[in-house]
Amino acid sequence: MTSPTQRSLKLLRDAGYQVAILEHWNGFIKRRQDLWNFGDLLAVKASQNGSIIVQTTSTANMSARVNKIRDIAEAQVWLAAGNQIIVHGWAKRGDRGKRKLWECKVRPITGEDFAPDCAELDSAF
C-alpha cells in the first residue's frame, strides 16, 4: 500500500510540478518530522508564481491538519510571502460492488483561515 505522501507526489508530478519530499524519519526521536510541523512536500512549477507546501493525510484527518496549520506562525509567513499551502486528503471511493480507487480531496489554506490576531505578523515582515 502506498502512503498519502507517495500518492500526492505522483499526483503533483503528473500535473507537471517539480516536487521534493520534506518529511523524513528521525531515528533519534523515533518519529517522522516535516518542515515547520506541517510540510510534507514542496512543489514548484515554472508557469506558476511562488511555491506550494503540501500536507498529506487521509480525508478523515483533514480538518485536524487544517486546525494544526492554523496554529503555526510559519504557515502564515509562508502565505504572506506569496506562496501556497494545500492539504491533500486521500480516501478510497467508488460505487458499491465496484473496485475502490484512491481519490484526493484538495483543501487550500488561505490567510482567511488564520485568527485575526495573527494579522500583526504581516506588518512585521
| Secondary structure string (H, E, C) spanning 81-122 | CCCEEEEEEEEEECCCCCCCEEEEEEEEECHHHCCHHHHHHH
Q: What is the pLDDT of residue 2?
A: 87
Say whether 63 sits in a helix, a strand or coil. helix
**Who wins on pLDDT, 91 or 117?**
91
Q: Classify 39 as helix, strand or coil.
A: strand
How confident is the model over 109-121, as pLDDT tens digits?
998 998 665 555 5
Tens-digit pLDDT profile for residues 54-73: 999 999 999 999 999 999 99
Q: Is the pLDDT of residue 122 over 90?
A: no
The pLDDT of residue 25 is 87
Show the CA angle centred on residue 65, arms to residues 101 and 106, nearest 5°: 45
CA–CA dist 22, 40 (Å, integer): 5
Quote the mean pLDDT of the chain: 90
Taking 60 as the threshold, does the pLDDT of residue 123 lie above it? no
Considering only CA atoms, which of 75, 60, 42 is closest in space to residue 105?
A: 60
pLDDT of residue 26: 87
Enter the C-alpha cell of residue 96: 458499491
pLDDT score, position 24? 87
Residue 58 is placed in which grid cell?
487521509
Per-domain residue ranges of the chain: 4-124
pLDDT recorded at residue 117: 55
What are the pLDDT digits (tens) for 4-31? 999 999 999 999 999 999 988 888 988 8
**Under CATH, what is the fold of the domain 4-124?**
Trna Endonuclease; Chain: A, domain 1 (3.40.1350)
What does the pLDDT average to over 95-118? Answer: 88
